[in-house]
Amino acid sequence: MHDRPDLTPLFEPRTIAFIGASKDIFKWGFNVLHHIIKRGFSGEIYPINPSGSDWFGRKMYASLDEIEMPIDLAVIVVKDTLVLETVRHCVLKNIPAGIIITAGFSETGPAGARLEREIADVARAGGMRLIGPNTMGVFSAYPSIMHALMGSMPLTPGSVGLIAQSGNLGTSISYRFLRRKIGISRLISTGNEADLSSEDILEYLENDEKTSIICMYLEGLRQPRRFFDAARRISPKKPLVLIKGGRTDRGAVAAMSHTGAVAGSDEIFSSMCRQSGIIQVDTMDEMVDIVGMLMQPRPKGNRVAIITLGGGWGVVATDACITEGLSVEPLEEPLIEKLDRILPAYWSRGNPLDLVAPARVSVITDTITELMEHAKTDAVFLMGLGYMSFRARGWLKSNTIPAEAAKEFSQIMISEERKLFELVVEMILRYNRPIIPVIDLMAFDIAMEGNPVQFLDDHGVMPYPCPDRAVHALAKVVAYRNRISSLVNEQG
Amino acid sequence: MHDRPDLTPLFEPRTIAFIGASKDIFKWGFNVLHHIIKRGFSGEIYPINPSGSDWFGRKMYASLDEIEMPIDLAVIVVKDTLVLETVRHCVLKNIPAGIIITAGFSETGPAGARLEREIADVARAGGMRLIGPNTMGVFSAYPSIMHALMGSMPLTPGSVGLIAQSGNLGTSISYRFLRRKIGISRLISTGNEADLSSEDILEYLENDEKTSIICMYLEGLRQPRRFFDAARRISPKKPLVLIKGGRTDRGAVAAMSHTGAVAGSDEIFSSMCRQSGIIQVDTMDEMVDIVGMLMQPRPKGNRVAIITLGGGWGVVATDACITEGLSVEPLEEPLIEKLDRILPAYWSRGNPLDLVAPARVSVITDTITELMEHAKTDAVFLMGLGYMSFRARGWLKSNTIPAEAAKEFSQIMISEERKLFELVVEMILRYNRPIIPVIDLMAFDIAMEGNPVQFLDDHGVMPYPCPDRAVHALAKVVAYRNRISSLVNEQG
């Protein structure tokens, strides 16, 4: 067994020494420091550069020795040949954690690997734990934002932890979360993993109260047994969503050259994922889609109702459901009769429920209520939203109709759609079952103010831009729920 | 055999009678007319409503009889019970084409179907050709924009023709084209196809000089034989990209209730698509991705090079290529030696070519040149672009560094990336092979001015937001090219 390292100084430092600070804005020594300061790290930060002087008005320290306060975390961006002595110096100063951004070690060949091992040995012997080298950095949202990353995307605080064995995948994925309004608790680009490994970080997130969903991009594992043991423990409590790089032989060769990771058999890896409750996905978009679905109430089964404001969306959604193993339950006659009293004369009288552009929003919400109360419905898809606001915004920009009339009518339209979204959020809570809005791409493009999508975002309900992605995400979450039920039984 | 209808009055009308004009902005009689006028139809448009008076300052005609000019096209939005007599009136006035937006016919049951047949018979006997009823409308970009659509998305002129057996799918797809900066030549929501069918429209687009790629959403075919014969003729000249709705049994039931289309066997349909050179896709995003790839030079084979500015992107792109049947060709030793002289010391020395964040843009373009000149490369993926501009924009918004310095340096960075994109466009032309930029999502979000993506858009080079989608689109285009080569041989 292994001891769990105390990673508090890494994720919740009170003081940071930034070793290798630079005023050259083409260098990481500028950019990473700039990001930490710009994003408002609330502790003390000490820029260090032998030249001393200042960093855009802040005191620049010539050496660690000039700092009197104890340092929790060293962020190291000095050039490769200086990293070893920098780490030695950190150890002398009893700094418990370091992030080595600098590259040029094991990823470059045997000489780099030897140097990297020496650095790790020095750190470990001195009680210093390291992320990297060759890492894109670390982001931690609590207790205050520490944005020690190469990437400048303005990530927001939330409950998703992200472990990435690739800096650029970490950046791409976390930006996608930002864009879909999903917050991050911690983001760790593990780099070469000379000391702290993905396994260590996973076990840290296991007990991190700020993290409720864990996402990973992995190319290879140093301790697969330990990793999957942890996954099996964690997945019933915190869903794990994973992308595996290097699945094909040629991809594995590329991964080897990238992080030195040895990939092993893809089939065995995927089977281990299934057995331990991990949700394995193929793409970044799929990852974000599934995380959004995990934020809804978890579906108790695979029986879905499809409510649509247009026939075609209902058809492609039904195809997608059947292909993905969801059940589009036929409606029973008493329910159809009830709905006949609510719905326009020419509604589809079946599931999908094509409401044929109903005149009032209450028609939609009354239909959902009937389904939730009287049908075997584990989840509801709501297709074709966002058009009312889109059209209303178009009126406002028109010079064909009088401005006053345009304003009055567009307000009515926008507030109707807004009311619908409020009711959807309310019903998700009341029935504790997912109601999944599918909102066409165009609605996402309406500027902030007056955009009803914003309301859903604010309430943690992620809309999907097309039927297929919504359906796929739900199917994956249903499969996850089934898997962890049997996992809990096996373990119980 | 059948005669080909003359659809010039439908797609290139000089005069439009808009029958059922309304000032109630919650009605289609307002919205569709509003769209035609707002988008600047250059011919004459006659709003008609029995109440007469005016339509926001334009003369409103009480009846067709008040109009002296010959009318090319009638757009009909009157209520369902008035459609038959309206069509009779149009026939009397020798109007050669009509678009019936009004719904409530064959999609509602046998009575509606009878009425619909009567309408079609009256029109056909009188030499009037109809789109609809129950159509979302028609958009035609040439000779001037005629936006006779329910949807208000501001589509731009281009060379993609889109036939949709669902108004909402037509809207969703065409908005996706708009967003990815791909223009539309004609968009036809065929509705109930009482008269003109998808087959008729396909044959029109076959000879339409303004259309070079044809996209379709189909739920069912009235004349499958005729359709696939046309497809086999057309696909070698104009690629056909198709989504089939109602592929599963439950989806087919939904399609039946939607458009009355009888779907038939999905397996046979897909096999007919393959045989006739149709590119069948599953989703709207896939459709747009493939159309973007069809605008690049067509690849002569499946041998790709992957240039990446970060290791992880190269790994996932390689996996995707292998899975999709593309060949990630190993580099030969003489080429590696040449590249050693250009590239940073620690580049990957293989394909994917991980350039490890090179200092200058010329390093990237020199590498492409070497690959094009000296390697067996049918297409190049270029991964990880867009970050320079993104970071530079971040500097501009910073208050940590002096504004003057920020401005100077960000200009350098933005213009470097811009230069790269200019060279990419130049090399695509020079080598007549696809160079496919993969640009992270974040770059798409940079406001217009100073966004280098804009430059690519302006030159018809569509960037992809992630490796998987770029790779999948190329693989589909390679398969299409192989298929039509053998089609041409079979036919030759």
Contact B248 A313 (CB under 8 A): no
Distance CA B134, CA B428 (A): 44
pLDDT(B142) > 70: yes
Q: Are A320 and B250 in contact (CB under 8 A)?
A: no
Chain A CB contacts of B169 under 8 Å are: 310, 312-313, 316
pLDDT tens column, B50-80: 998 899 999 999 999 999 999 999 999 999 9
Is B251 in contact with A169 (Cβ distance < 8 A)?
no
Who among A259, A312, A321 is closest to B168 (CB)? Answer: A312
Instruction: Considering only the beta carbons, identify the residue of B312, B321, B348 that sits closest to A166.
Output: B312
Which is nearest to A63 in space by CA: A21, A124, A97? Answer: A21
CB-closest option in B350, B394, B400 to A152: B394
Contact (CB<8Å) A258/B323: no
CB A144 within 8 A of CB A41: yes
For residue B220, the chain A residues in CB contact (below 8 A) are none
pLDDT of residue B448: 60
pLDDT band with cut points at 50, 70 and 90 for residue B420: very high
The pLDDT of residue A264 is: 73
Q: How far apart are the first and last CA of chain A?
A: 23
Tell me, what's the pLDDT at A2?
65
- CB-CB under 8 Å, A322 with B250: yes
Residue B260: is its pLDDT beyond 70? no
Flag if B441 and A172 touch (Cβ within 8 Å).
yes
Confidence (pLDDT) at B263: 63
Contact predicate A171/A198, CB 8 Å: no
Contact status, residue B314 vs residue B348, Cβ threshold 8 Å: yes
Q: How far is A152 from chain B (nearest CA, A)?
A: 7
State the nearest Cα–Cα gap between B319 and chain A, in angstroms. 5
- Give the span between the Cα atoms of A155 and A171, in whole angstroms: 10
- Contact yes or no for B468 and A283 at CB 8 A: yes
- Residue of chain A whose alpha carbon sits nearest to that of B309: A168
Among A152, A319, A402, the residue with its CB nearest the CB of B247 is A319
Per-residue pLDDT of chain A (492 residues; tens, 9 = 90+): 567 889 999 999 999 999 999 999 889 999 999 999 999 999 999 999 999 889 999 999 999 999 999 999 999 999 999 999 999 999 999 999 999 999 999 988 899 999 999 999 999 999 999 999 999 999 999 999 999 999 999 999 999 999 999 999 999 999 999 999 999 999 999 999 999 999 999 999 999 999 999 999 999 999 999 999 999 999 999 999 999 999 999 999 888 877 666 667 899 999 999 999 999 999 999 999 999 999 999 999 999 999 999 889 999 999 999 999 999 999 999 999 999 999 988 888 999 999 876 668 889 999 999 999 988 899 999 998 888 888 888 888 888 788 888 888 888 888 888 899 999 999 999 999 999 999 988 777 776 666 778 889 889 999 999 999 999 999 999 999 999 998 888 765
Q: Which residue of B has its CA nearest to A446?
A: B153
Per-residue DSSP letters for A4-25?
PP--HHHHS-SEEEEET--S-T
| Cβ neighbours of B322 in A, within 8 Å | 248-251
A409 to B247: CB separation less than 8 angstroms, yes or no: no
Of A175, A246, A315, the CB nearest to B440: A175
Question: Chains A and B: how many Cβ contacts under 8 Å?
Answer: 234
Is it true that the peptide bond before A402 is cis, omega within 30 degrees of 0?
no
Q: Which domains does chain B have, with CATH numbers?
A: 8-293 (3.40.50.261), 299-479 (3.40.50.261)
Interatomic CA distance for residues A36 and A44, integer angstroms: 11
A152 Cβ contact partners less than 8 Å away, ≥ 6 residues apart: A31, A35, B390, B391, B394
* Burial readout B299-330 (b: 16 or more C-beta within 10 A, e: otherwise): beebbbbbbbbbbbbbbbbbbbbbbbebbbbe
User: Is the pLDDT reported for residue B323 higher than 90?
Assistant: yes
Distance from CA of B126 to the nearest CA of A (A): 30
Q: Are A29 and A116 in contact, with CB atoms under 8 Å apart? A: no
Q: What is the CA radius of gyration of chain A?
A: 26
The C-alpha R_g of chain B, in whole angstroms, comes to: 26
Cis peptide before B299 (omega within 30 of 0): no
Supply angle C-alpha A10, A149, A81, rounded to 5: 80
Quick check: B32 and B137 in contact, CB under 8 A?
yes
- Flag if A254 and B314 touch (Cβ within 8 Å): yes
> Which chain B residues touch A56 with a CB distance below 8 Å?
400-402
- The answer to whether B316 touches B381, Cβ cutoff 8 Å, is no
Indicate the residue of B34, B171, B468 with minimum beta-carbon distance to A282: B468
Q: Which pLDDT score is estimated for A441? A: 81
Cβ–Cβ gap B311/A441 under 8 Å: no
Measure in Å the smallest separation between the Cα of B58 and chain A Cα atoms: 10
Give the pLDDT band (50/70/90) at residue B19: very high
Q: Which of A187, A304, A316 to mutate to test the interface with B (most CBs of B within 10 A)?
A: A316
Looking at per-residue confidence, does B149 or B257 come out higher? B149
Nearest CA among B86, B101, B78, B214 for reference residue B151:
B101
- What length does chain A have? 492
A391 to B153: CB separation less than 8 angstroms, yes or no:
no
Look over chain B and give the mean of its residue pLDDT values, rounded to a whole number: 93
The interface predicted TM-score of the complex, written ipTM, equals 0.95
pTM for the model = 0.95
Mutate to test the interface with B, among A60, A135, A168 (most CBs of B within 10 A): A168
Residue of A170, A319, A391 with shortest CB distance to B248: A319
Mutate to test the interface with A, among B152, B174, B177, B316 (most CBs of A within 10 A): B316
